[in-house]
């Protein structure tokens, strides 16, 4: 599910800092085409890359993945029964 949010969030965090895809790629030791594929959601960053990006951008991993709605979308404070109910509801 993270892939539905992370590309847009990487784009927004990068733009907020005035960086090009090449700038971010240099900072991450990646190719600009890799950054582009993350931002267009054609490729999902590895866990190590997500951690490194969150540190580089100075945001939590939740915020990198879910954006400003990280707390709203988080299930960390829900009971197991609530999470199961939410999963059932989301499957539709």
Instruction: Please determine, for residue 2, whether its predicted confidence score (pLDDT) is greater than 50.
Output: no
Length of the chain: 92
CATH topology of domain 2-91: 434 Repressor (Amino-terminal Domain) (1.10.260)
pLDDT grade for 3, boundaries at 50, 70 and 90 = very low
The pLDDT of residue 62: 82
- Condensed to tens digits (0 to 9), the pLDDT of residues 57-89 reads 998 888 888 777 655 555 666 677 877 776 776
Sign of CA dihedral 13, 19, 20, 26: negative
> Residues 4-26: what's their mean pLDDT?
94
Q: What are phi and psi of 64, to 5 degrees?
A: -60, -45
Cβ contact 91:29 at 8 Å: no
Domain spans, the chain: 2-91
Answering whether pTM is above 0.75, one says no
Q: What are phi and psi of 72, to 5 degrees?
A: -65, -40
**Contacts for 64 with CB less than 8 Å, ≥ 6 apart:** 6, 9, 10, 13, 50, 53, 54, 57
């Amino acid at each position: 599910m993270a892939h539905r949010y992370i590309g847009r969030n990487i784009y927004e965090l990068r733009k907020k800092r005035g960086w090009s895809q090449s700038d971010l790629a240099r900072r991450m030791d990646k190719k600009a085409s890799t950054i582009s594929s993350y931002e267009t959601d054609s490729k999902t960053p590895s866990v190590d890359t997500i951690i490194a990006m969150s540190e580089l951008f100075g945001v939590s991993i939740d915020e990198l993945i879910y954006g400003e709605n990280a707390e709203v979308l988080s299930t960390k404070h829900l009971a197991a029964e609530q999470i199961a109910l939410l999963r059932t509801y989301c499957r539709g």
